[in-house]
Amino acid sequence: MDSNEVLYDVIVVGAGPSGLAAGLELAKGNASVLILDRKQEIGCPKRCAEGLSNRWFDIMNLKPKPEWAVQEIKGAVLYGPNGKDVKMKSENALGYVLERKMFEKELAINAVKLGAKILLKHQVINAKRENGLVKLEVEVNNEVKEFKGKLVIACDGIDSLIARMLGLNTKNNLNDTDSGYQYEMTGISGYDENCLHLYFGTQVAPRGYIWIFPKREGTANVGIGIGAYVSNETKLNAKEYLDRWIQSQPGLKNGSIIEVNAGGIPVGGFLEKMTADNLLVAGDAGHMVDPIHGGGIGIAMEGGRLAAKNALRALKENDYTDKNLNQYTQEWFDTRGNELKRRLKSRHLLEQLSDDDFNYLAESITMDEALAIGNGTLSKTDMAILFTKKLVKRPGLVAIMMKYFQ
């Protein structure tokens, strides 16, 4: 075994948005940081629809650049099961669809400029603690190398095993996971290229939705997320649902596919604890995803940065125990987790709705009201008013809503 004598302050496993944001913050704080990734290229293959709203540009102090913020988005169109659509569009850009490969490479370049070191095609095969440090066994070029760190931040995605190797259970339950599949298509048309397009319905995408996220003229990410357990009941997988739907869309069915993506999406099942001795977890590995729309670039970056801040604190205090690190869990729930928990509640509500309920809501509820329900921010009184005004005609819906908003 080849031994690497360097002792790093922090080893970040996974060079996605979360790991790179963590690496950037650590390097900024003058920690010695090594970022490992098992893949051969940063940002590729993506498991992502690449949308990022302005809110996250603000939170992460990012400025959109034309080389990776490739499509300005001014709104969204929601399509109900009966085909009726609700369009909300603003005059200004509300966000962008990214070319993630370019975006992440820029993050990587910035992290390295500040002093971080990145190694690709390095697969962690084992992690253990030794004398208060973490020792990673890493497979590279058919050899096993050793890397030592005071702390490890696991940002290794839904297939994270690093945290599990160090005793923190990050596995996903099927009920809290979506099955995702996507094509990047070109030569397609028939949709407003300044809007995101979301298609709902139990025949279209049970317990999820199909999306079109435009990415330059005539080109878009066309994808689907469905409840992971759905294929048990319907015998159709995410790919089959998406292929069937694309064939029904005249503007899409003759398009060409220039990239195929797949992935599991952790949409809930938040971890009660995101640390162990010498370990913090962030991004998909820490189940940091919005339970309603399944997006996670911004949330992952924010989580990675927060993990890094706590790592810097622990380095200063020279205390790498779980007890000291676990403040990170509390801070994450305060800044983001509790908001996502409310949205998970709303997701559970949406899952109860029938196609008729969806159609009715699309026709009767305003966008502001829908957003308030989605964010879980309606007070009981507001909810009561909404029930009386809009939902009296559908007592079934009232019953479902009461169940979830008590």
Query: Does residue 246 bind other proteins (CB under 8 A)?
Result: no
- The first and second tokens of residue 48, run together, are 């992502």
- Stretch of 12-20, 58-66, 164-172, 288-296 contacting other proteins, by CB under 8 A: 164-172
Of 164, 309, 313, 342, the one binding other proteins (CB under 8 A) is: 164
- CB under 8 A: which stretch of 87-95, 176-184, 325-333, 377-385 binds other proteins? 176-184
Residues touching other proteins, count (CB under 8 A): 35
Question: Should residue 137 be labelled a site residue for other proteins when binding is judged by CB under 8 A?
Answer: no
Q: Which of 137, 192, 240, 331 contacts other proteins by CB under 8 A?
A: 240
Residue 179 found at the interface with other proteins (CB under 8 A): yes
Vertex 263 angle, CA 200 and 296, to 5°: 75
Q: Does 18 bind other proteins (CB under 8 A)?
A: no
Minimum CB distance to other proteins smaller for 180 or for 374: 180
The answer for residues whose C-beta is within 8 angstroms of residue 305's C-beta and 6 or more apart is 21, 22, 24, 25, 60
Residue closer to other proteins by CB (options 45, 64) is 45
Stretch 23-62 residues interacting with other proteins (CB under 8 A)? 38, 40, 45, 47
> Which of 137, 139, 331, 355 lies at the binding interface for other proteins (CB under 8 A)?
139
For other proteins, the closer of residues 10 and 238 by Cβ is 238
Q: Which is nearer to other proteins, 52 or 165 (CB)?
A: 165
Residue of 90, 173, 203, 375 that binds other proteins (CB under 8 A): 173
Cis peptide leading into 45, omega within 30 of 0? yes
Considering the complex, what minimum distance in angstroms separates the CB of residue 157 from other proteins? 6
Q: Which stretch binds other proteins (CB under 8 A): 71-79, 159-167, 289-297, 333-341?
A: 159-167
Interface with other proteins, residue 259, by CB under 8 A = no
Pick between residue 177 and residue 359 the one whose CB is nearest to other proteins: 177
Q: Counting contacts by CB under 8 A, is residue 119 touching other proteins? A: no
Distance CA 151, CA 324 (A): 12
Q: Determine which residue in the list 23, 75, 180, 268 makes contact with other proteins, applying CB under 8 A.
A: 180
Please tell me whether residue 266 binds other proteins under the rule CB under 8 A: yes
CA dist., res. 383 & res. 377, Å (int) = 10
* 126 interacts with other proteins by CB under 8 A: no
Q: Tell me which amino acid residue 213 is.
A: F
Q: Which is nearer to other proteins, 210 or 391 (CB)?
A: 210
Q: Which is nearer to other proteins, 104 or 176 (CB)?
A: 176
Nearest CB to other proteins, comparing residues 163 and 362: 163
161 binds other proteins (CB under 8 A): yes
Which of 152, 154, 238, 315 binds other proteins (CB under 8 A)? It is: 238
Q: Would you count residue 217 as binding other proteins (CB under 8 A)?
A: no
Map the chain to HEC letters: CEEEEEEEEEEEECCCHHHHHHHHHHHHCCCCEEEECCCCCCCCCCCCCCEEEHHHHHHCCCCCCCCCEEEEECEEEEECCCCCEEEEECCCCCEEEECHHHHHHHHHHHHHHCCCEEECCCEEEEEEEECCEEEEEEEECCEEEEEEEEEEEECCCCCCCHHHHCCCCCCCCHHHEEEEEEEEEECCCCCCCCEEEEECCCCCCCCCEEEEEECCCCEEEEEEEEECCHHHHHCCCHHHHHHHHHHCCCCCCCCEEEEEEEEEEECCCCCCCCEECCEEECHHHHCCCCCCCCCCHHHHHHHHHHHHHHHHHHHHHCCCCHHHHCHHHHHHHHHHHHHHHHHHHHHHHHHHCCHHHHHHHHHHCCHHHHHHHHHCCCCHHHHHHHHHHHHCCCHHHHHHHHHHHC
Provide the binding-site residues for other proteins, judged by CB under 8 A. Answer: 38, 40, 45, 47, 121, 123, 139, 157-161, 164, 171-174, 177, 179-181, 228-229, 231-232, 237-240, 260-264, 266
